[in-house]
Amino acid sequence: MCWSATADLVAGVGIAAVGAATVICAARRPGDLPMAALPLLLGAHQVVEAAVWHNGGGTGPATLLWAVIALPLLALWVPVAVLCAAPRHARRRLVIPLAAGVATSAALAYALAARTVTAEIRGHTVGYSLGLPGAEVIVLGYLLATIGSLLMSGDRGLVLFGVLVGAGAAVSFALWRQESISTWCAVAALSSAVLLLWVGRRRPGTEVGVSGPGGYGSGRERSPGRSDGRTG
């Protein structure tokens, strides 16, 4: 979320451009593609909110699409993307945030189908309301699925991404509650740049782990036909 329709639109286009570059870089590692495509989704989300601003809030298609991306889609997308990109040794524990994501996404999808989400312009912010019962449990499940999966990923780049998103979301939420200004678009832009750097440092055939020496979790590169970790 940004502080105006123009800011949302500019940020969305910029973030989507970073996302396109990230996807191109990730083509060498198909398992990284879901995570690499996340900036594309975040960019589209900002563009959708520009339409919400333009419509003055309300309950129209733009508001519903914004909620679908922000709630059930991201709750499922992030833990699946982390599971695909994570090193093998971390995948078993990632079943926990994945299960939380599936359950949370299902609950949010049902709520969106059964209820009407509304958007309200509040100064330099947009407030969204769905009237969820048991919202505290759903929020905990959402945080476990998204931030939790990143922090449990076993990859230094994704852990850094999780810390950045978690801290940025906390600051953005505090400012949003005061209805002063929405800064989530800045967090999304910085996070997308971190993902681009993360993808750029990955290499095909590299087993990635937290203890790897190459930065952002990169470990040993194994050449074809060799299993002892030496390349020559």
- Among 181, 130, 131, 148, which residue's Cα sits nearest to residue 2? 181
pLDDT in tens, the chain (232 residues): 677 899 899 999 999 999 999 999 998 899 999 999 999 999 999 999 999 999 999 999 999 999 999 999 999 999 999 999 999 999 999 999 999 999 999 999 999 999 999 999 987 889 899 888 888 899 999 999 999 999 999 999 999 999 998 998 888 777 656 554 556 777 888 889 999 999 988 866 544 444 333 344 444 444 444 444 444 4
What does the pLDDT read at residue 170?
Answer: 83
pTM here is: 0.83
Question: How far, in Å, CA of 223 to CA of 46, rounded?
Answer: 42
Question: How far, in Å, CA of 39 to CA of 190, rounded?
Answer: 10
Give the pairing type, strands 125-129 and 118-122. antiparallel
| Neighbouring C-alpha atoms within 13 Å toward the C-beta of 185 | 29
Determine how many CB atoms are found less than 10 A away from the CB of residue 84.
Answer: 16
Q: What residue ranges in 105-194 does DSSP mark as E strands? A: 118-122, 125-129
- Among 160, 192, 187, which residue's Cα sits nearest to residue 175? 187
Whether 125 contacts 179, CB under 8 Å: yes
What does the pLDDT read at residue 131?
Answer: 85
Question: How far, in Å, CA of 69 to CA of 46, rounded?
Answer: 10
What does the pLDDT read at residue 145?
Answer: 96
CA distance from start to end of the chain: 50
What does the pLDDT read at residue 183?
Answer: 66
Domain boundaries, given as residue ranges, for the chain: 5-201
Give the type of residue at 7.
A
What does the pLDDT read at residue 182?
Answer: 58
- Put residue 182 in one of left, alpha, beta given phi > 0 → left and psi -120 to 50 → alpha: beta
Q: What residue ranges in 19-149 does DSSP mark as E strands? A: 118-122, 125-129
Whether 86 contacts 155, CB under 8 Å: yes
Cβ burial 184-213 (10 Å sphere, 16+ → b, else e):
bbbbbbebbebbbbbbebbeeebebbeebe
Question: How far, in Å, CA of 142 to CA of 162, rounded?
Answer: 13
